[in-house]
């Protein structure tokens, strides 16, 4: 028998003797007699602590760690005026049954959290507001994008009040309250007026209660948050000190703002005609709303019925000759429209029903020459087109939804005309020759007409084009129909006037101050 067998035999013998002496079942013997570690034989309920998925130790009490964190973070409590501070969101405390683990103290675990994450990782009760982003393709082909937003507040009333404040930058506060309370003044028959039929935020905003990391940007006041919701930043906006003789329109234009954007950024003004005084401080911030406020208006207004120009062709007179046979006169009508507004900007206008005529329009009758010159010296354009009377390019009633001005930080080199409706006639603004008739993704269907004196007119977003390059047109001839092709937010005509060929060195001009004075 070798030494190993002898040793085993001795152990077995000793164990057997012990069993005999004690007269007990081996299963009931004390662990010490059996040579078994008592720590292994008696499992404990402990808590394993994980930070960002990595184990940082084992503790005896989850509650003690949570209480210790709360006690140590008095500075956070004072900063945010809260009664309790919690563990980081990525700290997991998992209950487990174990026989043998090295137990960490609460202080050791707390120090490890501070070393790895810092004190700013601790959390407090609050609300997370998720606002889906938006993306808009502008008429010029550029894209305006607002990213998804996560906004944190301790009290959700801060958010709802900030939204209300932001809304009143776009809508008069009394008008907004009347809408909310159902106290809007009803429109009288045949009387002008506006009511809001529907008002809503287009983004699907989600508000949920959560624990906010102290490192996050937390909005503590509605003033700060409403500033962010309107401008996309809480940084101080550029200011301007009003000088003697300044007007709102001049200040806005000189600082690349539309008057509408100026009024939204300065809610203490109601219209572009409001008076300024020297030394007054105004905001020049470019608004970047973080949500889309949609306002559906029912508008009844008195609008001009533009007189039509009726032409009588005279083959005995050369092209360019015009003689007024009957003077015209504009009329007046009561027009009902549905106006679709997003963040204070008109996106679409639809005329409802037939306008009620208040005073009739009288059409202008003009005799014009149609005889063509035959001189070969004129080159391929054998029809010298003279300047006739400028003709408004759409039917009336209409509304100008965007002017020749700054808009969204870039200049809108045309006017947008809406109201007559999809498929309504688009007319040549004067005698001329069509030099382009084509389509692009951002212009949609468009036509460019060359006139005398180096004038060119541009017609964009048409539903259909009736003229091709090389066609000779007379003022008032239908060249297409109104639509929303290309990058158009609604049905409208993008009408531009240029001195020189558009986009090839031509200079954009304001049609309302140049040809439609």
Residue 408 has pLDDT above 80, yes or no: no
Q: Are strands 478-481 and 425-427 parallel, antiparallel or unpaired?
A: antiparallel
Residue 270 has pLDDT above 70, yes or no: yes
Is residue 326 domain-resident? yes
pLDDT value for 386? 56
Cβ(231)–Cβ(285) below 8 Å: yes
Is residue 126 domain-resident? no
Residue 246 has pLDDT above 60, yes or no: yes
Backbone angles phi, psi at 483, to 5 degrees: -155, -155
Q: What is the mean pLDDT of residues 499-514?
A: 94
Residue 253 and residue 327 in one domain: no
Q: Which two tokens stand for residue 75?
A: 């500075």
In angstroms, what is the C-alpha Rg of the chain? 39
pLDDT value for 410? 84
Q: Which two tokens stand for residue 3?
A: 């030494």
Per-residue pLDDT of 61-81, as tens digits, reads 999 999 999 999 999 999 999
Say how many C-beta atoms besides its own lie within 10 A of residue 259's C-beta: 21
Q: Give the number of domains in the chain.
A: 4
Residue pointed to by tokens 């919701």: 229
* 3-state SS, residue 195: strand
Per-residue pLDDT of 209-240, as tens digits, reads 999 999 999 999 999 999 999 999 999 889 99
Per-residue pLDDT of 159-175, as tens digits, reads 999 999 999 999 999 99
Is residue 178 domain-resident? yes
CA distance readout (Å), 410 to 36, 95, 147, 256, 426: 83, 60, 20, 7, 27
Is residue 460 domain-resident? yes
Q: What is the mean pLDDT of residues 422-434?
A: 94
Mean residue pLDDT across the chain = 87
Per-residue pLDDT of 120-129, as tens digits, reads 899 999 999 9
Cβ(109)–Cβ(138) below 8 Å: no
Is residue 389 domain-resident? yes
Residue 360 and residue 462 in one domain: yes
Residue 299 and residue 412 in one domain: yes
Q: What is the DSSP letter of 225?
A: H
Residue 384 has pLDDT above 70, yes or no: no
Cβ(302)–Cβ(355) below 8 Å: no
Q: CATH number of the domain that 505 lies in?
A: 2.70.70.10
Residue 264 and residue 385 in one domain: no
Structural domain containing residue 25: 3-40
| Alpha-carbon dihedral angle through residues 373, 379, 383, 389, given to the nearest 10 degrees | -120
Residue 229 and residue 207 in one domain: yes
pLDDT value for 306? 86
Is residue 288 domain-resident? no
* 3-state SS, residue 223: helix
27 φ/ψ sector (left φ>0, alpha ψ -120 to 50, else beta):
alpha
SS (H, E, C) 267-298: CCCCCCCCCCCCCCEEECCCCCCCCCEEEEEE
Residue 438 has pLDDT above 50, yes or no: yes
Domain limit, last residue, from 71, 98, 121: 121
Q: Are strands 322-326 and 364-371 parallel, antiparallel or unpaired?
A: antiparallel
Residue 336 and residue 462 in one domain: yes
pLDDT value for 41? 54
pLDDT value for 144? 77
Q: What is the mean pLDDT of residues 316-329?
A: 86
pLDDT value for 8? 38
Q: Are strands 293-305 and 331-342 parallel, antiparallel or unpaired?
A: antiparallel
């Amino acid at each position: 028998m070798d030494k190993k067998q002898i040793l085993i035999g001795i152990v077995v013998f000793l164990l057997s003797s012990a069993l005999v002496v004690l007269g007990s079942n081996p299963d009931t013997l004390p662990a010490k007699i059996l040579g078994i570690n008592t720590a292994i034989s008696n499992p404990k309920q402990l808590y394993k602590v994980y930070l960002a998925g990595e184990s940082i130790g084992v503790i005896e009490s989850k509650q003690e760690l949570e209480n210790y964190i709360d006690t140590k973070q008095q500075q956070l409590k004072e900063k945010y005026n809260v009664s309790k501070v919690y563990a980081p969101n990525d700290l997991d405390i998992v209950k487990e049954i174990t026989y043998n683990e090295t137990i960490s103290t609460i202080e050791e675990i707390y120090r490890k959290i501070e070393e790895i994450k810092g004190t700013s990782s601790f959390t407090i009760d609050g609300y997370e507001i998720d606002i889906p982003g938006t993306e808009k393709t502008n008429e010029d082909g550029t894209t305006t994008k607002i990213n998804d937003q996560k906004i944190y507040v301790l009290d959700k009333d801060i958010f709802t009040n900030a939204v209300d404040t932001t809304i009143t930058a776009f809508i008069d506060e009394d008008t907004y309250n009347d809408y909310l309370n159902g106290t809007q003044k009803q429109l009288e028959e045949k009387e002008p007026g506006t009511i809001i039929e529907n008002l809503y935020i287009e983004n699907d905003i989600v508000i949920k209660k959560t624990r906010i990391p102290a490192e996050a940007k937390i909005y503590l006041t509605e003033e700060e948050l409403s500033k962010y919701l309107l401008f996309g930043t809480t940084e101080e906006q550029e200011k301007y000190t009003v000088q003697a003789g300044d007007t709102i329109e001049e200040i806005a234009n000189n600082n690349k703002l539309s008057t509408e954007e100026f009024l939204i950024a300065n809610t203490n003004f109601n219209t572009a005609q409001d008076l300024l005084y020297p030394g007054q401080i105004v905001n020049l911030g470019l608004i970047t709303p973080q949500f889309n406020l949609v306002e559906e208006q029912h508008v009844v207004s008195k609008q001009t019925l533009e007189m039509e120009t009726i032409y009588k062709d005279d083959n005995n007179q050369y092209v360019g000759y015009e003689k007024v046979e009957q003077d015209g006169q504009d009329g007046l009508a009561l027009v009902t429209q549905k106006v679709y507004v997003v963040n204070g900007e008109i996106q679409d206008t639809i005329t409802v029903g037939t306008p009620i005529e208040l005073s009739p329009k009288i059409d202008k009758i003009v005799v014009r020459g149609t005889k063509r010159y035959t001189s070969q010296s004129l080159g391929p354009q054998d029809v010298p087109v003279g300047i006739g009377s400028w003709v408004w390019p759409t039917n009336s009633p209409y509304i100008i939804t965007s002017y020749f001005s700054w808009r969204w930080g870039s200049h809108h080199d045309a006017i947008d005309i809406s109201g007559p409706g999809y498929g309504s006639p688009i007319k040549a603004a004067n005698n001329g020759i069509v030099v382009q008739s084509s389509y692009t993704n951002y212009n949609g269907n468009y036509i460019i007409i060359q006139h005398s004196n180096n004038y060119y007119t541009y017609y964009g977003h048409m539903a259909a084009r009736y003229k091709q390059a090389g066609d000779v047109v007379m003022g008032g001839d239908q060249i297409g129909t109104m639509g929303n092709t290309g990058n158009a937010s609604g049905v409208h005509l993008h009408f531009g006037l240029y001195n020189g060929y558009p986009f090839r060195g031509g200079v954009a001009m304001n049609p309302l101050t140049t040809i439609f004075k």
